[in-house]
């Protein structure tokens, strides 16, 4: 896939200074970045086609990306840089929401572990 994209990009005349991962490939727009509206329309089209009832958008995928990084333990500054948040408070709000959920989960898991733990002194001298 990476090789395909690299070869494809070599054949595109970019009309913008910045290089974008997703660009129009049709005459007249070739090399220009896809608009958010275009991407969201495609997401809606294919989620409906797949029978998914939930309203999906590129923003939800972005939020999921941040959430998964937070759950994986990626540090706040790394997440902030990765998603291009210039305002750390925005990243913190998402990050703290996820890590709060993780703390609740960890308390539940610890409680379950303690319930199942045998507290006898057998085998201890």
30-60 pLDDT tens trace: 778 888 899 999 999 999 999 988 888 988 8
| pLDDT of 111 higher than 70 | no
Residue 72's nearest CA partner among 102, 112, 108 is 102
According to the model, what pLDDT value does residue 102 have? 59
Domain-located, residue 14: no
Q: What is the sign, positive or negative, of the torsion defined by CA atoms of 74, 78, 82, 84?
A: positive
Domain enclosing residue 80, as ranges: 57-116
Domain-located, residue 24: no
Whether the model pTM is above 0.75: no
- How many whole angstroms separate alpha carbon 7 and alpha carbon 92? 38
CA atoms within 13 A on the CB side of 61: 9
Domain-located, residue 49: no
Domain-located, residue 33: no
Domain-located, residue 62: yes
Domain-located, residue 61: yes
pLDDT digits (tens, 9 = 90+) for 61-92: 888 888 888 778 888 888 888 888 787 787 77
Residue 33's nearest CA partner among 21, 51, 41, 47 is 21
Beta bridge partners of 33: 23
According to the model, what pLDDT value does residue 41 have? 93
Beta bridge partners of 23: 33
Domain-located, residue 41: no
According to the model, what pLDDT value does residue 22 have? 79
Q: How many domains does the chain have?
A: 1
Q: What is the sign, positive or negative, of the torsion defined by CA atoms of 101, 102, 105, 107?
A: negative
- How many whole angstroms separate alpha carbon 53 and alpha carbon 19? 34
**Residue 55 tokens, joined:** 């309203």
Domain-located, residue 107: yes
């Amino acid at each position: 896939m990476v090789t395909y994209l690299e070869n494809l990009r070599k054949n595109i005349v970019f009309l913008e200074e910045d290089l974008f991962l997703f660009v129009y490939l049709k005459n007249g727009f070739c090399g220009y970045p896809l608009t958010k509206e275009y991407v969201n329309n495609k997401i809606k089209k294919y989620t409906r086609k797949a029978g998914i009832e939930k309203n999906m958008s590129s923003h939800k995928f972005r939020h999921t990306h941040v959430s998964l990084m937070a759950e994986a333990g990626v540090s706040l500054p790394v997440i902030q840089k990765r998603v291009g948040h210039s305002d750390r408070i925005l990243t913190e709000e998402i990050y703290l929401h996820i890590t709060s959920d993780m703390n609740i989960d960890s308390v539940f898991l610890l409680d379950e572990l303690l319930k199942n733990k045998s507290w006898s002194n057998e085998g201890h001298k």
